[in-house]
Chains A and B, each alone.
Chain A
């Protein structure tokens, strides 16, 4: 493996309103490199492949263990986390781009506040009475816990939204992550007190009906969260509610 190099190109953009451009980099290969460590190497020696001085890459990252959800980007066209993208498993030249469906702030950093706003809209929390002592929590069987835990590992990376053909400005679709969180809190013995409100928030334009069942979400989810299953399950509840609401009128 002597003198093996890593070739990669990064789509850069100085600010939200400036034009994007590509820069190519070439580094000596080492075992165990991931995409993040390529960025770290560029920061140590910010020079492009054709020896032009440049600036370190701006990108979101934090835990580097695929639990914080920060470093999502497009790597060889796929929405994924940069920390768990191992260079040895990637075809070269590796292309690295910011998400295409979120506003670019700079280089690979995009604005993903829309998901956190969605979580507010569906009241993604258990409405406890207060933090004062009220004794033990509800009993929950292990099977139910295991189901909840799967959904609760969603780290708000937004890969599912980036990959979804329906997630765009014309539909205003909330995306799979939000729907799976609605399912999680509707499952909880106390959380379900807000079930009706959550379902209401997912009705109408931009709601669950926008899903076109392309199933891209479940394919890209780094945590293998059962997203399509969650959409069907919540979709069923929304449908039931719609029928009931109709007869209540």
Chain B
């Protein structure tokens, strides 16, 4: 056994998956890389503003400890501290490596990396490549993986859907079961270790800033196979999105980092267009309420402030749920150099030019802080199964700081890749009946497919999805009430029931996208219950999780990680709580409103 090359499966080709692939290939192990889309088209491309690391190139006295402190404080102390500290310490090295790979980071006149300020910190700590940093980082990693691919060390399976893990009789992960999205064939693949890098769960909320593939289906499937899902209730709503018919498009925090100001007309009956409202008639409410951080308060704070201004004070623009995000006071050349990409998005999709007029924005579902539970090695509670990036729960606690997500993805890949190779080297002999475990899993998944295809019901899966998204967005995002959460869970049970009565209008067995989506929808519904019930049980307010009936953080009762496990007989989650590691930074009240 020891002489054979370890085989590692990585599911997902965003920043986390590709970082892990590079490390694993570099160590001489073989990578099978599975992705729903060509990996270059993964959701990481959507990240705009930048990547944090305390390089301290601005003479500000920044340090990795301060980055660590900002991250833990920003996450309202819900993250275990050791991995966060390690991530912040690895940050500068990761930036240097990306720079060496050719990421076109913005530069100072001296030719060194430029940094800008993001929310939840007072330091210029965010390296950036225009306003498409995620795209640029993904491309750099994609290029390195392509290099390994051409050397035969990485084999890509693009347009494949992960269906489930293959577990042996000892519940050790021995491979995966996946479906070819062209031929719809169900195939099992053996591996010494499996790394999940499948991103966030935006589609559970219907419209979000996430990409189409971010359904959470893989996490939902694994949860039903016994993987623990942690802090599911921690969902980040980004304060500045552009509402759209097909999705909510992000307007990056970097817009505020570069001086963008959020305001509403003081007069709710204001009829003049934004640009014509004189300074004295504008209310810059974030600067007013949070003088120290101003427009760069963390996202949960900004989101609640906008909700308050719009819903409680009735000051949304023209009575609509919208506020202004204004860049029009900044000169055109600076905007183009530093924010070109995102301003193009606004111009292209809304039709107004943000160089000239203030943008109209509103909060929208953006990031999944919770995810598959992992230990410090990024291994889930299923041996041999790892989770990395947005699909794991480990770094961001109850709220993620802007520009920390790209770092956390690469960090997790760099930690988990080598760990998986090491684990593969010490893996014991497989039980004798392993072949039958693969056969059984393939049979189980094939039967599920056949059941779905032959269903003779009346429900349209896309309508069920719309109902799911509407109720989750209404009741399980910014402001949460226990009666509404209970109501939501009842609705989710109803949707699961109606799902059994689903009917596919397309029953073909060749690149059938609606069939694929319908399969994913079931896992989304199961995971939605984890999110909703987790929110119901957490009777406090912490980070992004806000309950007006329990407005304070309650460390005595809830400084704990929520861990959900699937109970197959009851067909619903059961919950456990785990203490949080606070050994390095003692929890203190989280306030951004002092001077």
Q: B143 is contacted by which of A84, A112, A126, A139 (Cβ under 8 Å)?
A: A126
Contact of A106 among B38, B345, B511 (CB under 8 A): B511
- Closest chain-B Cβ to A200's Cβ sits at a distance in Å of 15
- Which chain A positions have C-beta within 8 A of B211? 62-64, 68
B514 surroundings in chain A (CB, below 8 A): 43, 55-56
CB distance A58 to B96 under 8 Å? no
Chain A nearest Cβ from B183, distance in angstroms:
11
Q: Tell me the nearest residue of chain A to B95, going by C-beta.
A: A137
> Looking at the complex, which of B104-112, B169-177, B317-325 is the stretch in contact with chain A?
B104-112
Assess whether B112 is in contact with A139, with CB atoms less than 8 Å apart: yes
The answer to whether A68 and B41 touch (CB under 8 A), given A62-B213, A106-B511, A149-B129, is yes
Among A30, A32, A60, A149, which residue has the most Cβ atoms of chain B within 10 A? A149
**Complex interface bits, B100-118 against A, C-beta within 8 A gives 1, otherwise 0:** 1110111111111000000
Kindly specify which of B75-83, B146-154, B190-198 makes contact with the partner chain: B146-154
* Residues of chain A from 23 to 69 with CB closer than 8 A to chain B in the complex: 30, 32-34, 36-37, 40, 43-46, 53-56, 58-69
CB neighbors of A among B97-139 (8 A): 97-102, 104-112, 129-130, 132, 135-136, 139
Are the CB atoms of A14 and B508 closer together than 8 Å? Answer: yes
**Is B5 an interface position by the 8 A CB rule?**
no
Q: Which of A151-159, A164-172, A201-209, A211-219 contacts B (4 or more CB under 8 A)?
A: A151-159
Tell me the smallest distance from the CB of B524 to a CB of chain A, in Å.
16
- Is A120 interfacial (CB-CB < 8 Å)? yes
B65 at the A interface (CB under 8 A): no
In the docked arrangement, what's the CA distance between A185 and B139, Å? Answer: 12
CB < 8 Å neighbour of A126 from B102, B130, B246: B102
* Contact residue among A120, A135, A155 (Cβ-Cβ distance under 8 Å from B96): A135
Known: A58-B513, A124-B143, A136-B96. A64 touches B212 (CB 8 A): yes
Q: Which residues of A sit under 8 angstroms from B37, Cβ to Cβ?
A: 60, 62, 68, 70
Task: Answer yes or no: B43 CB below 8 A from chain A CBs.
Answer: yes
A116 beta carbon closer than 8 Å to chain B:
yes
A86, B140: Cα distance in complex, Å? 31
Mark the stretch among A140-148, A226-234, A235-243 that contacts chain B.
A140-148
Q: Which residues of B contact A146 (CB under 8 A)?
A: 337
Chain A contacts of B505 at CB under 8 A?
A: 46, 53-56
Bound together, the chains give a CA A56 to CA B515 distance in angstroms of 10
- Give the interface size class of chain A: 35 or more
Asked if A5 is at the interface (CB within 8 A of a chain B CB), the reply is: no
Q: Which of B101, B112, B132 contacts A67 (CB 8 A)?
A: B132
- What is the CA–CA distance of A66 and B108 in the complex, to the nearest angstrom? 28
Interface string of B510-521 (1 = CB under 8 A from A): 111110000000
A133 at the interface (CB under 8 A from B): yes
Minimum distance in angstroms from A217 CB to a CB of chain B: 19
The answer on a CB contact under 8 Å between B212 and A116 is no
A188 at the interface (CB under 8 A from B): yes
* Bound CA–CA A86/B540 (angstroms): 43
**B182 to chain A: closest CB distance in Å?**
7
Alpha-carbon separation in the docked complex, A130 to B96 (Å): 12
CB of A128, distance to nearest CB on chain B (Å): 5
For the complex, is B576 an interface residue (Cβ under 8 Å from A)?
no
**With an 8 A cutoff between CB atoms, is A109 at the interface?**
yes
Contacts of B245 in A (CB 8 A): 30, 32-34, 37
Cβ distance B72 to chain A, nearest Cβ, rounded Å:
25
B542, CB-defined interface residue at 8 Å: no
Q: Is the CB–CB distance between B147 and A67 below 8 Å?
A: no
Given A58-B513, A68-B45, do A142 and B146 touch, yes or no (CB 8 Å)? no
Chain B stretch 37-69: residues in CB contact (< 8 A) with chain A:
37-38, 40-43, 45-46
20 new A-B contacts, CB < 8 A, other than A64-B249, A149-B104, A152-B136, are A34-B246, A36-B246, A37-B246, A61-B212, A65-B249, A68-B37, A68-B46, A68-B211, A86-B349, A124-B143, A126-B140, A130-B26, A137-B100, A139-B111, A139-B112, A145-B105, A149-B136, A153-B130, A155-B40, A156-B41
A-B contacts, 30 listed (Cβ < 8 Å)? A14-B510, A32-B244, A44-B463, A46-B505, A55-B505, A56-B513, A61-B212, A62-B42, A65-B249, A65-B250, A70-B41, A106-B511, A109-B511, A116-B38, A119-B143, A119-B146, A123-B150, A126-B140, A127-B147, A128-B97, A133-B96, A134-B96, A137-B98, A139-B111, A146-B337, A149-B104, A149-B136, A153-B132, A185-B102, A191-B102
